[in-house]
Amino acid sequence: MGRSFHLGTYAGIPVKVHWTFGLMLMIILYIGVQNHLNVIELGFFFLLVMTLFLCVILHEYGHALTARFYKVDTRDIIISPIGGVARLERLPSDPKEEFVIAIAGPLVNVVIAFVCMVILYFVTSDNMLSLNPDAVTVDNPLEFLKTVFYINIVLFLFNLIPAFPMDGGRVLRSLLSMKLGKARSTQIASTIGKIIAILFIGIGLYISHFALAIIGGFIFYMATSENKQVKLEERLHLTTIADILNPSFTKLYLEDPMSKPIEISMRTKEHNFLVYNPYIQRPVGIMHSLYIKDAIARKQTQAPVSKYTSPKLRLVSAETSIFETRQILHLEGLSIVAVGESLDEIVGVVDRDSILHFMNLSN
């Protein structure tokens, strides 16, 4: 998602802000100057925007903590001018779990709105849900609280629009998946999202509300991307690594000089290797492409391969799906796996490069 800055880690989940968020601060200043706001009014406007994005962060934590309940980790939460996203390590295969994770975010906004309403109820009984825009100032905390209430109601309703990347699109897909399967459900939800996006673009251009048109364009792009991603994942699930393995892989031996893998990686497409013990003729580790680059940088071309060998080694069956193999490589921090029924009967290797090549061809 481009350059992001780390704000802190809370509940074990890193929170980051995208660099484009700085544009939001510039827009706030521009709006303030254009509307001749004084320092206090500008400060309130800034506080209101920050409160909005705090609500967005809490919304994303609703997704992330619910996902954790289902044993799904969250890589991080990234905040940008167009909202936030909790980047899950994977989507649950059970549509019921996806439904709960998707709806958890909007429900957080409902809880925030309810808390605001309760506070307002005990503080004032004077038409507590009426909002006077002219009265919303730093000196009027009740009107500010009402604004926060309405912001969260809007966030709740907006996120339930049945279009990706809004939660409503994922809720719709999860409900359809219970009967139609994930791929078909994603296609339907994506099509609905595109129709809504086109309506947003058309209405936005017609009434000169260009922000709405931009949102529509973003929704159209994300709906298309989501459909492509699910199709790709389905193909990764259905294709075994037998179709992409390299049966003619190069064997490195512990006593080989590093000049050997360096020369091979420069001359061929092999950049990750299995490392063998020459006495037992079995692999005992792997050589990551990063180790080769490190050896080049340190001018260690004559150092033994054993110096740059990782003892991590994974054997998988040729019938393992590409999707599962990719997960193994990612979760175990590997660059290559041996393929076969045993370490004495290796029929080939699969590395990250071969999987990435397959994915690029599938797009």
Q: Do 12 and 115 share a domain, yes or no?
A: yes
Q: Is residue 165 part of a domain?
A: no
Contact 58, 112 (CB under 8 A): yes
Q: Do 123 and 8 share a domain, yes or no?
A: yes
Whether pLDDT at 206 is above 90: no
Residue 245 has what pLDDT? 92
Q: Do 30 and 154 share a domain, yes or no?
A: yes
129/144: higher pLDDT: 144
pLDDT digits (tens, 9 = 90+) for 333-356: 899 999 999 988 899 999 999 999
pLDDT digits (tens, 9 = 90+) for 3-27: 777 788 888 888 888 776 666 667 6
Whether pLDDT at 51 is above 80: yes
Q: What is the DSSP letter of 246?
A: B
Q: Is residue 153 part of a domain?
A: yes
Helix (H, G, I), strand (E, B) or coil at 77: strand
- pTM here? 0.69
Strand order in the sheet with 336-340: 315-316, 336-340, 346-351
The torsion angles phi and psi of 187, rounded to 5 degrees, stand at: -60, -45
Q: Give ∠ CA 151-153-157 in degrees, rounded to 5.
A: 115
Nearest alpha-carbon partner for 355 in 230, 334, 2, 274? 334
End position of a domain, from candidates 132, 160, 188: 160
Domain range for 17 = 4-160
Cα 353 off chain centre by:
21
Q: Is residue 214 part of a domain?
A: no
Q: Do 155 and 282 share a domain, yes or no?
A: no
Q: Is residue 183 part of a domain?
A: no
Whether pLDDT at 130 is above 80: no
pLDDT digits (tens, 9 = 90+) for 259-315: 999 999 999 989 999 999 998 889 999 999 999 999 999 998 899 999 999 999 999
Cβ neighbours around 51 below 10 Å, total: 15
Q: Do 37 and 146 share a domain, yes or no?
A: yes
Total number of domains in the chain: 2
Q: Do 120 and 16 share a domain, yes or no?
A: yes
My answer on whether omega of the bond before 162 falls inside 30° of 0, hence cis, is no
Whether pLDDT at 61 is above 90: yes
Q: Do 155 and 250 share a domain, yes or no?
A: no
Mean predicted confidence (pLDDT) in 200-228: 83
Name the band, by pLDDT with cuts 50, 70 and 90, for residue 1.
very low
Mean predicted confidence (pLDDT) in 225-241: 84
Give me the percent of the chain exceeding a pLDDT of 70: 89
Residue 129 has what pLDDT? 56
End position of a domain, from candidates 110, 137, 160: 160
Mean pLDDT: which of 132-141, 222-231, 328-337 is highest? 328-337
Q: Do 12 and 139 share a domain, yes or no?
A: yes
Q: For the ranges 33-37, 55-59, 143-147, 354-358, which has the lowest average pLDDT?
A: 33-37
Whether pLDDT at 53 is above 50: yes
Q: Do 136 and 268 share a domain, yes or no?
A: no
Amino acid symbol at 176: L
Q: Is residue 235 part of a domain?
A: no
Q: Is residue 306 part of a domain?
A: yes
Q: For the ranges 22-36, 40-54, 191-205, 334-348, which has the lowest average pLDDT?
A: 22-36
Give me the percent of the chain exceeding a pLDDT of 90: 39
Residue 52 has what pLDDT? 84
312/93: higher pLDDT: 312
Q: For the ranges 26-35, 157-166, 186-195, 229-238, which has the lowest average pLDDT?
A: 26-35
CA separation, residue 352 to residues 18, 230, 272, 323 (Å): 28, 20, 9, 12
CATH of the domain at 320: 3.10.580.10
Whether pLDDT at 135 is above 60: no
Q: Do 141 and 278 share a domain, yes or no?
A: no
Q: Is residue 106 part of a domain?
A: yes
Measured between alpha carbons, how far is 53 from 123 in angstroms, rounded to an integer? 25
Q: Do 13 and 127 share a domain, yes or no?
A: yes
2/331: higher pLDDT: 331
Q: Is residue 233 part of a domain?
A: no
End position of a domain, from candidates 134, 160, 186: 160
